[in-house]
Amino acid sequence: MARSNGVHLKWHEVKAGIIKFIISSNEAVREPDIRERLRKDYDIVDSGNIKTHLRELQQKFYCIEKIPSTKPGGANKWEIRRIEHVINIRSKFPDIQLKTYKKALKIVTRRFFHISPDSPMANMFRVQLLLSDSFLTCAQKITLKLYSRELTNFTSTVLISGGWSILNGSRGFRKISLE
């Protein structure tokens, strides 16, 4: 997409493009690869602007994480690997459909289940996330409520049964009382 001078992109379009590129890869993404992608997709060549976008995504929005190079002069890598990143992407970049990215589903599954990612329960959870727009929101609200009340004995079966209730059209998590 070539742009002429003075033509502006949509608000946060470049940042959303960076997030989509990082979350679509299986591992951390090298900064030169991000620069090359932005050059192709948005015709951005100024590395200062790219570093500003990356810094804002890391420090202001808390959507990505920087992995410094182990070698002097080596390229930094950027990664999305925490549930906080997924929650912040969902709230600050609602146009990104997180349920379509394997990495996001893996992060959410790993956060809510302390089981193998290939287990039947984890697969059922991923299917629920793919089918429902509200399931991740409900899971996020329950997690925030749990953090605020410092509850530690919350099992994944409550989350799954509530998710199935939502998918089946019943009231779902409204039936569960955490008070």
Q: Which residues of the chain have pLDDT under 50?
A: 148-157, 164, 167, 170-179
Per-residue pLDDT, 171: 46
Burial class (CB in 10 A: 0-12, 13-18, 19+), 149: exposed
- CA-to-CA distance for 141 and 161, rounded, in angstroms? 16
The C-alpha atoms of residue 105 and residue 117 are separated, in whole angstroms, by: 10
What is the C-alpha to C-alpha distance for residues 82 and 76, in angstroms, rounded to an integer? 18
pLDDT for residue 157? 46
Res 138: pLDDT: 64
pLDDT of residue 28: 96
Residue 8 confidence (pLDDT): 73
pLDDT of residue 143: 59
Judged on CB neighbours under 10 Å (0-12, 13-18, 19+), 166 is buried
Asked whether the beta carbons of 74 and 24 are under 8 A apart, the reply is no
The reported pLDDT for the residue numbered 179 is 44
Place of tokens 């493009």: 17
